[in-house]
Every structure is written in structure tokens, then in C-alpha cells.
Structure 1
Amino acid sequence: MPTTALPPRPDTGTPAEILLEFPDNRLLIELCGEFDCNLAEIEARLSVQILRRGNQLAVHGEEELQAEAVKVLRALYQRLESGRGIEPGDIDREIRMGESVEETGTRDGDQLEMFRGGRVEIHTRKKRVEPRTEAQKTYVRALMENELGFGIGPAGTGKTYLAVAVGISLFLEGAVDRIILSRPAVEAGEKLGYLPGDMKDKVDPYMQPLYDALNDFLPGKQVAKLIEEKKIEIAPLAFMRGRTLANAFVVLDEAQNATTMQMKMFLTRLGEGSRMVITGDRSQVDLPRGVTSGLADAERLLGHIDGISFNYFTAKDVVRHPLVAKIINAYDADNPA
């Protein structure tokens, strides 16, 4: 798409505006969004002004920010040209990643596509999942390349979400026969008392975040059918004892709430043809005082072993509401240890 930089302002030497011309008006309308909401998001995030003139967009602002906005607009337009839509998360990712999408190279039959521009996509039944930060991209690659991986960092950084997405993609392409999702059944600082119902009814409240992730990637009826067929299992950590998990993609969520013995028990369940992912947040340990977190112990003991990846996230990788990152930073500042 043609780009024109008008002559610089005599007072500052920076371009008065950069003009981007788009050949397809229909795609330009999608790029702008309803009531220009996409343009408003880019303007707010990058401190620029974007004006629409026919089939052109004029970008005003500081030179560096103008260039960044142009990159984002081009990448989003290329996304539309390839037949994909634009969601708020796509705008956030383009701003964070700062890379334009180039020609893709796809391995036949693989659900994971590596783009020449460094982009990663995970295909599931309901949506394509794309990492939105460099740390997330590195994490997804590590999960594909290692049989055992750890994702450690604060809430909202996509540790569990991306792990489940990778598991779904591998299951759909036949690389694994089943998916096993687990987490310790530990109450988050409050006593819930006795829960009614059978065993499933009692543990389901603890497992709900895992159900939420599955339902984001697969139709609800398919999730129910796969669970009924035991091709997807969601169970508390205590239920893993004595099992050998072969040809499976296994995720242990909230691993900071596993004890040292539970962590050792879980890690030694790894069987032939399986991959295992452990996710946790060291700042949210709900174990009784004096009980060592198995996640901390695993970091200390396993960090030097080849074939095991450790990926770390910070508040910069939070992809929930922007306030979440600010809240995490505030707590970290108050507890620097």
C-alpha cells in the first residue's frame, strides 16, 4: 500500500503527517472498526491522531510514534487481506510485538504455523490463538520443542490459556491421544466448607478455569463428548498418584500450591509420547504457613536439565484489563522480595 510523508514542519523538522492509501475500501472500513473504534484504540495507545480521508488514513504525531502506528495499521490491513478479522486482542498484539506479518510457511498437517516475520499461530476448532508478547511467543515455542516446560509469572499473562491451546492443537493433529488438565484443590485463603454432590461436583469449582479455557477453543458439545470418552480429563492433582501418563498432553495449573512431594509425584508421571506443562505464580501461594511450594523446589532442582524449559512472565505480559498490570506492579513494589 502506498505511503506518503508530507514535507516536514519548518519549526520541528518532523513530518506534518504520513498518508497511507488503501486499495480496498471494504477492508478499510473493517480496519477502522465500528465508529472508528480500532483507530481510536491505536490513537490512545500510541498517542497519535489518525484521520480518514476517502481511501486514505493520515497519521499525525511524533515521528517515532507515527512510524509505529503505520506499522500497526499495515499489519492489521494485511491481516484483513488474508481473510482474518480484527479483534481488540489483535490490536494489542500488533502494538506490543511491532512486527508486520509476512508470507507464511506452514508444515503440512501441523496446527502450529511459524511465520517468517517471527509470528506464531495456534489453530483450534473455534479460533486462532496468537501470542501477544515476546515472552508468550517464546513460551509457545518452548512448549512445542520440549517435553517438559514451566510457565511462571503473575496472573493474566496467558500461561495456562496458551498451554491448553497448544494441547488442543496437538490433540487435533493426532500428536497426542488425550489431554489431561490438573490443579491442586487448594482454597484461596478462605474456607468453603463441605460442598454438596458427588466427587465431580465437589472438585469442579476448583477446575472451572480449565473448563473455561477448553470452551474457548472447542465447541461445548465436543468438550462434553471428549470428557465423556476420557480423551480430555480434568482432575485434582491428588488423583494423579499411581498413574503413568503416556501419549498425553498434561497441564498442571496453579503449581505453586503443590507441595514438594506432590510436585515430584506429578513430574514422575510423564510417560512415553507425552508432553507436560507446569504453570504457576510464585506470588499466590495458598499453602499453609511453613509448607514449601513444590514449584519453587522444582525451579531449584531442575533448572539445569536439558529438555526442560523455564519461561518467565512479568506484569508487562499481562493481557487482561490494563489495570491488572498496574495492580501487579503495585504489589510487587510493596513486596520487592
Structure 2
Amino acid sequence: MNELIIDLSESNPREFFGVRNKNLAFLKKHFPKLKIVARGSTMKVFGDEEQLQEFDKRIQMMLEHYGKYNTMDENIMERVLTSNGREDYDNAKGSGDTLVHGVSGKIIKAKTPNQRKLVELTKKNDMVFAIGPAGTGKTYMGVAMAVRAL
């Protein structure tokens, strides 16, 4: 059984692992064959060499994200853990669907077909009028697209 030691002194382990170690539990669920032990600012991982390499690669991507945006949640972890590699994760962050990165790195993008239509029409036209019920994202998307244009 091989061992991997990861030093988390560059980041805040409490915030990285989440409230009540929620993020750590998510990692353990994603890597069930590894034994993950976190103490203070050190994480020790025991298991097969191949899985340890994959785990180290994913953790480094997460630490890079945490260092940049100072936040870590299940959504970010899921994106990093299910990506095909650094290129795929980076492309997902900067994909054409992404309008802007909000507070703490949250991705703001069109979620409904009508919001996507609004974004496409805005790219093609100087002025677009949107009408519809309250709460459908008209103003939210408009502000996101305005911030993107800056």
C-alpha cells in the first residue's frame, strides 16, 4: 500500500474541507478504494499507486481553483473530478456557454432555452427587447452580458 502526503498549508483546510468535512466526505465517496486521513493542514492518502496519481492530479486542480477563487463546493469538486483532465476542466470554465464568473468563481450562464436564445440574439443584434414573467432571468442575463462586454 502506497502513501501520498498532501500539504494544505497554502490554503485554509477548514474551508477547503467544508463545513463538517462535507467536501472531504465527497472526495472519499468519489475515491472509495483510497483511505483518506486529514489532520490539521496535512492530508494522507493510502492506496494503489495508479489511483494515488489520479487523486493527486485532481487535488492539485482543486487547490489551484481554491487558490484562485478562495472557495470550494460540491459543484466545483464534481466538475474537477469528472473532467477528462486539466484541459477539459479549463475549457468547461471558459466555455462559450459561460457568460462571466461571478463571486467566488461561480459560473453564470444561460440555463433555459429562452435564456440561450436571448444570449444568441444579443450577440447578433445591438439592441434586444425581452418580455416575460418575473423571475425568468431577463435582467440577470442582461447584467451578466453587460459585465461580459466590459
TM-score by length of 2: 0.64
1:307 matched to which residue of 2?
Answer: none
Deviation per CA, 1:163-210: give whole Å up to 9, x if none.
667667668xx63433879xxxxxxxxxxxxxxxxxx8xxx7xxx9x9
SS in 2 for 1:178: coil
| Structure showing the higher helix proportion among its residues | 2
Within the candidate set 46, 50, 55, 2:31 is matched to 46
Question: Offset at 1:123?
Answer: 3.3
Unaligned runs of 5+ in 2: 143-150
SS in 2 for 1:24: coil
SS in 2 for 1:29: helix
Matched, 1:175 2:148: no
**Which AA in structure 2 matches 1:175?**
K
Q: 1:81 to 1:168 in 2, by over 3 A?
A: farther
1:161 matched to which residue of 2?
Answer: 111
Question: Offset at 1:78?
Answer: 0.7
Deviation per CA, 1:205-241: give whole Å up to 9, x if none.
xxx9x92xx3xxx7xxx35xx7xxxxxxxxxxxxxxx
Q: 1:123 to 1:21 in 2, by over 3 A?
A: same
TM-score by length of 1: 0.32
Provide the rounded CA distance (Å) in 1 between the counterparts of 2:62 and 2:14: 12
Using CA pairs under 8 Å that are at least 6 residues apart, name the structure with larger relative contact order, 1 or 2: 2
2:146 matched to which residue of 1?
Answer: none
Question: Offset at 1:31?
Answer: 1.4
Matched, 1:91 2:77: yes
Question: Offset at 1:54?
Answer: 2.8
The structure with more radius of gyration: 1
Provide the rounded CA distance (Å) in 1 between the counterparts of 2:91 and 2:101: 23
**Which AA in structure 2 matches 1:91?**
M
Number of paired residues? 132
Question: Quick check: 1:49–1:61 contact (8 Å CA) kept in 2?
Answer: yes
2:16 matched to which residue of 1?
Answer: 31
Provide the rounded CA distance (Å) in 1 between the counterparts of 2:112 and 2:93: 12
Q: CA RMSD in A?
A: 3.8
